[in-house]
Amino acid sequence: MKAQVPVEQRRARLAWRHHLAGAEAGTGTAGLAAGPAGAAGLAAGSAGKAAGAPAWDGAAFAARVAEDLVALHSTDPATVFLSLAARSPAMRVPAVRKPAARKPAVRKPAVREPAQIAPADIERALYEDRTLMRMLGMRRTVFVVPTDLVAVVQESTMPAIAARQRKLLLGLLTEAGVAEDPEAWLAEVEDATVKALAARGEATAATLSRDEPRLRTQVVVSPDKSYGGAFNITSRLLLVLAAQGRIVRGRPRGSWLSTQYSWSPIERWVPAGMPEWSPADARVELARRWLTGYGPGTADDLKWWTGWTMGEVKRALAGLDTVEVDLDGVSGLVLAEDADEVPVAPPSAVLLPALDPTVMGWAGRDWYVGEHRPVLFDRNGNAGPTVWWDGHVVGGWAQRGDGEIAVRLLEDVGREARAAIDAAAAATGAWLGDVRITPRFRTPLETELSQPDR
């Protein structure tokens, strides 16, 4: 008989492994008066540091969270920063209980306040330490991935995606009649673009299109659609080169909300080179990483998350030592070495952003979303901002034009939890400061809450 893994146990695993548990959580507002994401900013690792306490390394924390979550969604640049900020100890708010009767004051030694990550920490991990890398990955989605996992994602997932994207571009070039031999022309422009990029070391798309004028070749895309028309091939060709693993996105122009990335050859970004993986071995490793962070889960969950075929999923899982378990009547899998129960996680309130990797981690979402999916997801399954308590979604949130964080709970969580959620909302607003965010994919509740006086 298959062992049963109840919903409560799955939620406890999620809370611990996705950095949503109340352990080491803070008040939610410590050290946030300046607004770490706003114009004032905070020095990396300095928030709430007591005299003599070791500096907290926010960049190392960012890398560790990304490793535990396998990959951070980066279709919307704000998601990466908000996902990491929400998980830093100062932002995870435990239950707020009524204080006990006041006792005589006792002098206590200085204690370091819960640590808080700043945008500069995340940028350091991405662009200076380079422990994280932004890349096209599963489901043709942009992710931020631990650098030591990039080769696994590349070989397990990207060859098929790169081939499809190149085939689409080749078809557009053929229809446009750009050359007698479009295949040879495209290969020549690809190599010339990489060569031009190598000569500069780093460049934006606009700069590359000046260095290699053929990037300004125009093709017609979706002529029968309102969004269609004639476009330069620059962005599509850079997408193909990135999908092939030849170039990498670097620091964007403007703020951390920008998508105007610079580009670099992969050899310049990772001079030591990438480890070699066969596609089959890479899929086994990525499946292992997913089960470690997201298991127990189903084959359908893994198929959706990776974008692989079911045949590829089954072969990858066959390469792992797994145990079949019962997930409320559905057959699931957990790594054999990870089959023991985990302790109950101390609850905490956390506000996760749109497209957060936890919310987007499974195809089957009822066990942590419940009946709230219609108002929290768009028609394509993209998640909006969510409010979490005790390992599951209890509501949604949005930032209004004046910076207020508006929250709506979709179930009764009790007074103490509500107070913790209010504190987490205040912490999120303080962290953002004067920065304003709008999710790329709008969802019903987020759209409603973002309006004033609702």
Question: What pLDDT sits at residue 25?
Answer: 55
450 in any annotated domain: no
Question: What pLDDT sits at residue 149?
Answer: 97
* Residue 213 sits in the same domain as residue 327: no
* Residue 209 sits in the same domain as residue 308: no
Name the amino acid, one letter, at 81. Answer: F
Half-sphere exposure of 390 (CA within 13 A, CB side): 13
114 has pLDDT over 80: no
Lowest model confidence (mean pLDDT) among 36-45, 135-144, 356-365, 437-446: 36-45
Split at pLDDT 50, 70, 90, the class of 37 is low
233 in any annotated domain: yes
* Residue 207 sits in the same domain as residue 263: yes
Element (H, E) at 145: strand 142-146
* Residue 248 sits in the same domain as residue 296: no
* Residue 221 sits in the same domain as residue 198: yes
Please, are residues 368 and 383 in contact by the beta-carbon 8 Å criterion? Answer: no
Within the chain, how many helices (H) and strands (E) appear? Answer: 16, 16
* Residue 186 sits in the same domain as residue 238: yes
424 in any annotated domain: no
* Residue 286 sits in the same domain as residue 191: no
Domain boundary among 232, 249, 269: 269
DSSP string for residues in 262-296: EEEEHHHHSTT-PPP--HHHHHHHHHHHHHHHH-S
List the domain range (segments joined by +) for residue 212: 147-269
Split at pLDDT 50, 70, 90, the class of 107 is very low
In three-state secondary structure terms, 263 is strand
* Residue 259 sits in the same domain as residue 287: no
119 has pLDDT over 90: yes
Please, are residues 281 and 311 in contact by the beta-carbon 8 Å criterion? Answer: no
253 has pLDDT over 60: yes
In three-state secondary structure terms, 400 is coil
Domain boundary among 338, 357, 381: 338
Half-sphere exposure of 441 (CA within 13 A, CB side): 20
117 in any annotated domain: no
What are the helix (H) ranges across 244-278? 266-269
CATH number at residue 319: 1.10.10
Question: What pLDDT sits at residue 241?
Answer: 98
The residue behind tokens 């403007």 is 254
The residue behind tokens 């949130």 is 397
**Nearest to residue 48, comparing CAs of 28, 20, 66?**
28
> Comparing 25 with 344, which gets the higher pLDDT?
344
Number of domains within the chain: 2
87 has pLDDT over 80: yes
For the chain, the average pLDDT equals 90
**How many CB atoms sit inside 10 A of residue 75's CB?**
18
Residues with Cβ < 8 Å from 276, sequence gap 6 or more? Answer: 151
SS (H, E, C) 221-239: ECCCCCCCEEEECHHHHHH
Domain boundary among 269, 291, 313: 269
In three-state secondary structure terms, 135 is strand
Instruction: Return the percentage of the chain with pLDDT > 90, whole number.
Output: 81
Lowest model confidence (mean pLDDT) among 102-116, 341-355, 391-405: 102-116
Lowest model confidence (mean pLDDT) among 102-111, 152-161, 380-389: 102-111
Split at pLDDT 50, 70, 90, the class of 115 is confident
Residues with Cβ < 8 Å from 339, sequence gap 6 or more? Answer: 3, 323, 325
12 in any annotated domain: no
